[in-house]
Amino acid sequence: MQLFLRRIGAFFIDINICAVILLPVAILGTFVQFDFLSRLGAISGMLLLMFKDLYHPDGSFGKKMLGLVITIDRDEESEDIRYYKVIRNITLLLWPVEVLVVILNKGRRLGDIMAKSSVEICAPPKFRLP
């Protein structure tokens, strides 16, 4: 249960970081009525979500803050694990399916199954909640 709560917390941190990064596009979009800006914001948001685990070798900023690490089960060490980290997050675009799979698989995401990866606790969180 602690792993599941940490994963939710890490995702919440990552989503908020994406929101802060995209805030200038959203503010500019309120002043300038261009359909292009709304598309740019949506595409940028999707790309930020897909590439969020490339921030650090262990995973995203939220995972690092909450003491989580991504482990990818690969037979050959020579394979580039960045590819599998992106594969993990492509399924976030299909979030209703992702939520259903998490409920049915006791916390394991569809992206984890596709990339043969898992998220594990490696350290205590960098901060404590009251």
Could you tell me the pTM of the whole model? 0.82
**pLDDT above 60 for 125:** yes
Q: What percent of the chain has pLDDT over 90?
A: 4
pLDDT at 16: 92
- Report d(CA 94, CA 109) in Å as an integer: 11
Summarize pLDDT for 57-95 with one digit per residue, the tens. 888 888 989 999 988 887 666 567 888 888 888 888 888
Which CA distances in Å does 87 have to 9, 43, 51, 93, 115?
Answer: 21, 17, 9, 11, 6
